[in-house]
Amino acid sequence: MSNTFSVNLSLETLSHSVIKETNLPKGWENIAAKDRSEMPGIMTLIAEYSVLKPLKGIRLSGCQHLTNQTMICIEAYVSLGAEVRWCSSNPLSTVDLAATYLTVKYPDKVTCFAWKGESMDEYWWCIYQTLSWPNNRGPHTLHDDGCSSYIMLHHGVNLEKNFENTGQKGNVKDLEVKLYDGVSMFNLLNKILDKDPKFWHKIAADLIGITEQTTSGVTAFRQFCKKGGVLATVFCANDSITKSKFDNIYGTRQSALDGFMRATDVMAAGKEVVVIGYGQVGRGAAEAFRGLGARVRVTEIDPICALQASMQGYDIVLLEDVVETGDIFITTTGSIKNIRVEHMLKMKDGAILGNIGQGSEEITVEELAAVKDVKKVHLKPYVDKYILPNGNGITILADGRLFNLACATGHPSFVLSTSFCSQILCQIEVAKNLTRKEYDKVLVKLPKIVDEKIAKIHLKHLNAKLTMLTQEQADFMGVSIDGPYKQDNYPY
């Protein structure tokens, strides 16, 4: 974090934004207009729902990378009637002027707690402020990424229950799911407990639903469900085909290269690139580097994913067999400890490591820094070289966090339009639960017909023309002329 920007991490619930840049440069409305033009799905939903305002009266707390694209999504929420408090789901991913734009344009509707380069204490404080509404109220809905804000709410409620029964405060050992920095979170939760031992119960009282953006977030919610349940219905926007098969693959395919090029200025052609994981994100990363002429190897635990990668022409290898020869290592799994100290100490001079999966523990950067005789040399923002005891130097991007967001600005607008359409439509469904109570506290996803609607909207922007079924063909296939055209379990 910049030495010229500091924040008083007060537990008082703030009614104003806390952002780094308070002055909006001229021309930013033009930048917003450019992003809107590349997000046809969101603009279509605004046109369709802005009069009806299905989110009117909804207090929406959002936790996702505050980039230009997220800025347009937040505009949509405001157009549909919501009041919004927002923070970033990663300490390094905020585009500061996007936060400024929202604060300046919607001072009575949007409150932001986000800036690029937050410390972990600041990161959790921003989430706390986003969840905490004035007058001891909480959000009706969460827009989450990586389960980042829900984790704090869930553990806050459990901590208060445990404290009431045992008198014991929270500890990182109490985590129900793996968290990237649980110590800072529990430090803050215990301070809140001292101030108000029923705070999180008040915040959770109004919660009617959650929408989740990422694979790792859905995985965390499933773990919560197995270990006692969730506090509200979870709509898995990530499980929509127009999110998982587009954002995860095609968004990664572009933003991985964007972040890598901006950070390193290194030519990828001819290099040996090792992609850890061949899920949707891994596929996008592998395609990206192969397209530049790199020799791509893949490591994978899942035999089906490994077979798919092999059929695409990638060598399926063990990390241990390529750790000394690889030039570039990209982790994509959303898991932990994929590249460990014992791997990094064997790497060649000039090797580059980056994570585009989730969180900060796919590469054990802190453990490497603690090794005797390892020296850290700062090259430029979010790019550091580690001199190993044998004299080799390896470069790690973004401290092991998402380098496509820290070193660049994340996925392009068009592909995020498909993702955010899923989130917005999920939020509209959640809002219905405020009065109808249609959904139980389980994980659900949007119907197939909605996925197809999102795809159709974006096809128009690409000047694509869909073939129409005849009634005879539709009857033969057992589908409606208007869709859905596939069964719910169709894998695409």
Beta-bridge partner residues of 380? 383
> Are the C-beta atoms of 154 and 229 separated by less than 8 Å?
no
Beta-bridge partner residues of 83? 59
What is the Cα Rg of the chain in Å?
23
Here the tokens at position 213 are: 């953006």
Instruction: Name residue 328's amino acid.
Output: I
DSSP 277-318: --SHHHHHHHHHHHHTT-EEEEE-S-HHHHHHHHHTTPEE--
- Name, in order, each residue with C-beta under 8 angstroms of 194's C-beta and a sequence gap of 6 or more: none
User: How do beta strands 328-331 and 352-355 pair?
Assistant: parallel
Closest Cα to residue 292, out of 262, 249, 256, 319?
256
Residue that is written with structure tokens 């445990």 in the block: 162
Tell me: is residue 156 an annotated ligand-binding position. Answer: no
Gap between the Cα atoms of 370 and 184, Å rounded = 19
Tell me: is residue 411 an annotated ligand-binding position. Answer: yes
Which of the 8 DSSP states describes residue 180? T
> Are the C-beta atoms of 174 and 186 separated by less than 8 Å?
yes
DSSP 200-257: HHHHHTT--EEEE-SHHHHHHHHHHHHTT--SSEEEEGGGSHHHHTTIIIIIHHHHHH
Gap between the Cα atoms of 5 and 69, Å rounded = 25
CA-to-CA dists, residue 111 to 83, 199, 345, angstroms: 9, 20, 45
Tell me: is residue 154 an annotated ligand-binding position. Answer: no
Tell me: is residue 471 an annotated ligand-binding position. Answer: no
Tell me: is residue 283 an annotated ligand-binding position. Answer: yes
Here the tokens at position 206 are: 């109004």
- Cis bond upstream, residue 91 (ω within 30): no
Sign of the C-alpha dihedral, residues 230, 235, 240, 243?
negative
Tell me: is residue 281 an annotated ligand-binding position. Answer: yes
Tell me: is residue 170 an annotated ligand-binding position. Answer: no
Alpha helices in 313-470 (DSSP H): 319-322, 341-344, 365-369, 403-406, 413-436, 448-461
- Name, in order, each residue with C-beta under 8 angstroms of 257's C-beta and a sequence gap of 6 or more: 268, 288, 289, 292
Q: Is 411 helix (H, G, I), strand (E, B) or coil?
A: coil
Tell me: is residue 461 an annotated ligand-binding position. Answer: no
Angle at the Cα of 181 from the Cα atoms of 194 and 392, rounded to 5 degrees: 150
User: How do beta strands 352-355 and 393-397 pair?
Assistant: parallel
> Are the C-beta atoms of 149 and 63 separated by less than 8 Å?
yes
Tell me: is residue 280 an annotated ligand-binding position. Answer: yes
> Are the C-beta atoms of 236 and 218 separated by less than 8 Å?
yes
Which residues participate in the annotated binding site for NAD(+)? 279-284, 300, 404, 411
Which residues participate in the annotated binding site? 279-284, 300, 404, 411
